[in-house]
Copies of this chain bind each other. A is one copy, B any other.
């Protein structure tokens, strides 16, 4: 028979071996646990939405994958009008507009799902066409306190502190401050977007290139250098606040920023873990207040691992109700790929059932199964080797799959009411009475470092 090559589509190819999947799942659970700790509610939305919903805000058309029927006589609604979501924010806006009356506001939701974007995948750099996002948003009805913005860094802090992937900094800026600075430098409204785009490259390009781009956008040579120095110089948070005050930039935004810094401290985020950073620019139109990026101090090359900001109106394309909000997103597929490259992934078990009951004697099946049942009753996940095979092959399986404990027994052991318990890493084996088995296995599993 002619074979089909078992291969994946480019960009749809972050697929894991089971032990990697367990590492990925552990990160998902860690993120979920921390989101839930702060009162965020889970939702999931369908993978495909109406195209008119996805494109309501505009700008994403080029990245969208639409659906069609491969071989059906007639298109159904999904094939005629549907496409895969490219982010979790547009579906959230549609969701809140649909269910406004049933939700309690401020609505805190988290969502951990895949999204699809027809971008050019650079697998080496951890970019995919199908990838996971982990989002939280807080949506107010009509109003939303700045405290919702101030709480966000404490959630980010909790997540990455528990993840233990090294020192990180939540970099915070404020769109109003940026606007005030541009006004001070007499950048016109029309040029603002281009100037911000130039400033957004400060971390990626060298000084000369950025200053040249600023000049091309109408700034005099001296103003361009000055603006670069204001935005591009790294300072302590208090220094930045003082500078903005001394120079008289951005009066309104500055007050907000001061208040925000104070509140973030109250929310328990230590000064080393966050900083005001004027070079955080982000999305050009969407955000209206605080904006966030998060970087690993020892791995700046990974880029921002968690970003977002405050916006004025989530769902203006769907409803007249004003829904101000604030949210952040962790691009988990990319983060996972980069952490793996940098050897920073937390260690996890290689199989969720770490105990294997080997089966030497086919006539003792009932007794092997009773051993497994006894362990499972004590919440110890346990697998039984069910093929007929020599013990060497069974241990080969145990090692390849990554079990930590193997149990062996034959007629001899069973007649004495014992089994052999083998610590596979230490290669140490001992006879254990059945009555003590669960306790002994638990002790082995708990005591060993992963």
Contacts and interface: CB of A to CB of B under 8 A. Distances in A.
Interface stretch (A48-56, A174-182, A271-279, A336-344): A48-56
B266 A365 contact: yes
A387 B44 contact: no
Interface in A40-61: 40-53, 55-56, 61
A68 interface: yes
A15 B400 contact: no
A382 interface: yes
Interface string A14-43: 111110011011000000000011111111
A381 B37 contact: yes
Contacts of A45: 15
Interface in A323-375: 351-353, 356, 365-366, 369, 373
Given A6-B98, A11-B78, A79-B118, A267 B369 contact: yes
A116 interface: yes
| A: interface residue count bin | 35 or more
A432 interface: no
Of A7, A263, A317, most buried by chain B (CB within 10 Å of CB) is A7
A64 interface: yes
Contact of A41 (B7, B18, B106): B18
Given A68-B66, A78-B65, A268-B369, A386 B8 contact: no
Contacts of A318: 3-6
A376 interface: yes
B373 A268 contact: yes
A82 B12 contact: yes
A241 interface: no
Nearest to A74: B118
Interface of A: 1, 3-18, 21-22, 24-25, 36-53, 55-56, 61-72, 76-79, 81-84, 93-95, 97-99, 102-106, 108-109, 114, 116, 118, 129-130, 140, 143-145, 147-148, 151, 263, 266-268, 315-320, 351-353, 356, 365-366, 369, 373, 376, 381-384, 386-388, 397, 400-401
30 contacts: A4-B318, A6-B95, A6-B98, A7-B98, A12-B47, A15-B43, A15-B46, A16-B43, A17-B99, A22-B41, A22-B42, A37-B353, A38-B382, A38-B383, A39-B351, A41-B352, A42-B352, A47-B114, A62-B71, A64-B69, A65-B70, A67-B67, A67-B68, A78-B118, A104-B401, A140-B387, A147-B365, A148-B386, A266-B366, A266-B369
